[in-house]
């Protein structure tokens, strides 16, 4: 096995050596020298007869000379072009000769050397070379001998330190410039301004030369040491004819480009040169010089199998695979992978189709469910009611479920403002950043609650009063109906009266104003609305306060519309314990005096600070009965709220107490109307502000007339106003002294 491996290695070396020799031979004509010294000499150049290309205007003969140094006796072989120009390298593509050119110099001691070069019909490359001048008291110019073109540089630098700091060939001590193409012959002239008199110690000479770009890297040491370098490489562009490609291709006999090659215009703008076609490599000027490249042995774009063809290659896939075989194409793919991919795509398509069908079915189901909820929540009935009230339909917007979900963050617990008998209220933020309160009913589907919901929408849609919560719209496409109200941000009246919920008590003036606002709102419902409305659930928990303590009557779920030709309606008893009219509870006959009773209880709450029903209250749990009995026993001042009890408020407190007692009478006919109540409360407020009311004397004849009191309305408790007032004053003084 070791012998075979060794044999294989030797055969590989022989093949490689043969290929190298064949490539070298392919660069020259048979029998011609392919090298001179260390420089390869490819055809069309040659060093002997019949070994170089002949053209009428161009010279491709190179002289290979060997000289012996007299001092060392060493033999040196040089390749010479034209007038003794040493050739360093020859390139076919790009077509370039790299030759050696002398440096021109001029020194203070009058020694100098001016150089010139003639390259025949070839041209000095303007892209690969630069004209360079070095010195600190020097000017030089480069001249084209075939025309009047000149270019040059002037350099002065008297300070060595600044010169060192500048660095590179940047114009201080060194300057480089370019020149145009097609220059075939040039000379260089060099001079000094003042014979280096001021810079002689660090720059005794000036230098100028043409050099291949990158072959000269300038530093300040070059000012002293450049004299050690006498030559620099220069690139010369060559072509095989002065003709253009179309001109040359017309004459097949003189056309230089051989088999498997093509013509290209010279980069210097003079003549043309030849290159091998793609997929071939070698010398395009020889008959069989361009050889096919076996791309399969090197880099190629085949993913699996490569097949070399003349000038190119092809790719294929092994058995069992398919594709074009190219890495930048479809490549070679296994059918198993394709089958799996096809199955995956099929499953994906089926999954997408099923998902789409399910989504469509879900949307249809959701649409049907929303339609069902709309009907279940009394949508048709509500629209019917709203259409009967011409002019009010446009005030009520129908919101979508998605809008209200976004507004309440999907009805998040943190957005809950409160819970009541009719449902839960959430804080919502609409897209225009307006804040609203969204009421969500507790249970959906119950016919009574649906009716309450529709009733509330119907009632509120026709109310436009500053002391009634405004309804913006509703949503009917959810399982439970939703109402959207204006947001009132300061809680309920109950929260502010209850000492356990609010440490800061409302002042008496604020309480009296709130009572007047509530009375005026209820009076509006009873007598000013297009169809009279009985609220049926007036209580302190349904009175909202804004940040200015302005009262807003809310929760119209239990309200009823009363036809204009009827004074009362029969209905199932509904209300809140403690606020419910006893007469309505017994008879089931609802009229506006039922709201008067409920308001009277709220009025009692305002002046006593007690709740409508308290199970731990001694004597009487029902506040209305407790208040009436206290009034009858002349114990009013023992039950009033100490937080508002003041000698200045005594007369107003007494008047409000008598008004409250009238409101909570058992017989509804003996109760005042809400309009009378509102007028009396406004009168009390106006009397307090009137300039001719002095001190607490509000019981003058003028006050009585203004308040519109009826003498028999006070019964026995108001028989003697003066005596009662004296008794109250004494009692008040006693309680204040006692620390209440």
Active site residues: 537
Spatial distance between the Cα atoms of 484 and 480, rounded to a whole number of angstroms: 13
Q: What is the 3-state secondary structure (H, E, C) of 468-528?
A: ECCEEEEECCCCCCEEEEECCCCCEHHHHHCCCCCCCCCCHHHHHHHHHHHHHHHHHHHHC
**Angle, nearest 10°, between helix axes 592-608 and 674-689?**
40
DSSP-based three-state secondary structure for 313: strand
**Cβ pair 327, 301 in contact under 8 A:** yes
Contacts of 684 (CB under 8 A, 6+ apart): 512, 652, 655, 656, 707
Give exposure, 682-705, as e/b (b: 16+ Cβ within 10 Å).
bbbeebbeeeebeeeebbeeebee
Give exposure, 27-50, as e/b (b: 16+ Cβ within 10 Å).
bbbeebebebeebbbbbbbbbeee
**Residue 231 forms beta bridges with which residues?**
102
**Cβ pair 504, 652 in contact under 8 A:** no
**Cβ pair 660, 654 in contact under 8 A:** no
Query: Which whole-number Å values give the CA distances from 352 to 358, 361, 476, in the listed order?
Result: 10, 14, 33
The backbone torsions φ and ψ at residue 85, rounded to the nearest 5 degrees and listed phi first, read: -100, 115
Contacts of 82 (CB under 8 A, 6+ apart): 59, 118, 119, 120
Query: Which whole-number Å values give the CA distances from 541 to 272, 500, 576, in the listed order?
Result: 105, 15, 10
**Cβ pair 214, 130 in contact under 8 A:** no
**Cβ pair 245, 272 in contact under 8 A:** yes
**Cβ pair 436, 428 in contact under 8 A:** yes
Spatial distance between the Cα atoms of 656 and 684, rounded to a whole number of angstroms: 9
Spatial distance between the Cα atoms of 181 and 129, rounded to a whole number of angstroms: 11
Nearest to 92 by CA among 212, 239, 232, 213: 239
């Amino acid at each position: 096995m070791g012998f075979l491996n060794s044999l294989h290695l030797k055969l590989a070396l022989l093949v490689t050596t043969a290929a190298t020799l064949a490539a070298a031979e392919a660069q020259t004509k048979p029998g011609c020298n392919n090298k001179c010294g260390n420089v390869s000499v490819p055809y069309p150049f040659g060093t002997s007869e019949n070994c170089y290309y002949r053209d009428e205007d161009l010279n491709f003969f190179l002289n290979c000379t060997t000289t012996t140094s007299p001092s060392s006796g060493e033999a040196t072989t040089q390749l010479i072009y034209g007038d003794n120009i040493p050739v360093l390298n020859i390139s076919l593509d790009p077509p370039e000769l790299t030759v050696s050119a002398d440096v021109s110099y001029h020194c203070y001691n009058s020694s100098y050397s001016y150089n010139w070069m003639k390259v025949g019909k070839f041209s000095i490359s303007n892209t690969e070379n630069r004209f360079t001048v070095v010195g600190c008291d020097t000017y030089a110019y480069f001249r084209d001998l075939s025309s009047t073109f000149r270019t040059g540089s002037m350099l002065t630098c008297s300070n060595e330190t600044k010169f060192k700091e500048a660095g590179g060939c940047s114009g201080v001590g060194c300057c480089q410039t370019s020149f145009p193409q097609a220059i075939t012959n040039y000379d260089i002239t060099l001079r000094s301004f003042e014979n280096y008199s001021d810079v002689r110690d660090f720059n005794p000479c000036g230098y100028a030369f043409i050099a291949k770009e990158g072959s000269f890297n300038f530093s300040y040491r070059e000012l002293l040491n450049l004299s050690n370098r006498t030559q620099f490489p220069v690139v010369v562009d060559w072509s095989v004819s002065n003709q253009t490609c179309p001109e040359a291709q017309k004459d097949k006999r003189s056309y230089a480009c051989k088999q498997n090659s093509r013509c290209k215009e010279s980069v210097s703008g003079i003549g043309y040169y030849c290159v091998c076609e793609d997929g071939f490599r070698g010398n395009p000027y020889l008959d069989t010089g361009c050889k096919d490249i076996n791309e399969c042995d090197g880099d190629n774009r085949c993913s699996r199998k490569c097949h070399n063809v003349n000038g190119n290659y092809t790719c294929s896939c092994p058995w069992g695979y398919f594709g074009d075989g190219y890495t930048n194409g479809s490549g070679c793919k296994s059918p198993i992978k394709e089958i799996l991919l096809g199955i995956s795509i099929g499953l994906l398509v089926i999954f997408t189709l099923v998902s789409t069908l399910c989504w469509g079915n879900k949307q249809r189901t959701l649409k049907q469910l929303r339609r069902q909820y709309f009907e279940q929540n009394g949508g048709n009935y509500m629209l019917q009611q709203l259409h009967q009230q011409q002019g009010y339909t446009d005030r009520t917007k129908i919101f979508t479920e998605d809008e209200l979900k976004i507004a309440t963050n999907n009805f998040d617990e943190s957005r809950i403002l409160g819970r009541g008998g009719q449902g839960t209220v959430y804080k919502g933020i609409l897209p225009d950043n307006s804040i609203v309160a969204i009421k969500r009913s507790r249970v959906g589907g119950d016919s009574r609650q649906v009716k309450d919901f529709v009733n509330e929408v119907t009632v509120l849609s026709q109310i436009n009063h500053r002391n009634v919560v405004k309804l913006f719209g509703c949503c009917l496409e959810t399982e439970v109906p939703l109402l959207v109200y204006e947001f009132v941000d300061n809680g309920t009246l109950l929260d502010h009266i209850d000492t356990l919920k609010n440490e800061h008590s409302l002042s008496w003036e604020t309480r009296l104003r709130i009572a007047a606002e509530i009375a005026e709102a209820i009076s509006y419902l009873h007598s000013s609305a297009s169809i009279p409305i009985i609220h049926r659930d007036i209580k302190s928990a349904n009175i909202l306060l804004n940040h200015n303590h302005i009262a807003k009557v809310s929760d119209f779920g239990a309200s009823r519309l009363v036809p204009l030709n009827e004074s009362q309606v029969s209905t199932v008893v509904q209300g809140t314990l403690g606020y419910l009219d006893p007469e309505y509870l017994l008879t089931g006959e609802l009229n506006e005096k039922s709201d008067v009773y409920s308001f009277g209880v709220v009025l009692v709450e305002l002046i006593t600070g007690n709740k409508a029903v308290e199970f731990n209250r001694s004597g009487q749990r029902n506040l209305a009965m407790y208040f009436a009995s206290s009034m009858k026993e002349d114990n009013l001042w023992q039950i009033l709220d100490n937080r508002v009890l003041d000698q200045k408020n005594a007369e107003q407190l007494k008047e409000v107490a008598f008004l409250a007692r009238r409101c909570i009478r058992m017989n509804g006919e003996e109760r005042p109307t809400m309009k009378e109540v509102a007028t009396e409360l406004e009168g009390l407020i106006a009397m307090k502000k009137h300039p001719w009311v002095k001190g607490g004397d509000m019981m003058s004849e003028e006050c009585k007339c203004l308040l519109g009191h009826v003498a028999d309305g006070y019964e026995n408790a108001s028989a003697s106003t003066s005596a009662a007032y004296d008794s109250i004053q004494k009692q008040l003084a006693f309680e204040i002294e006692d620390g209440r």
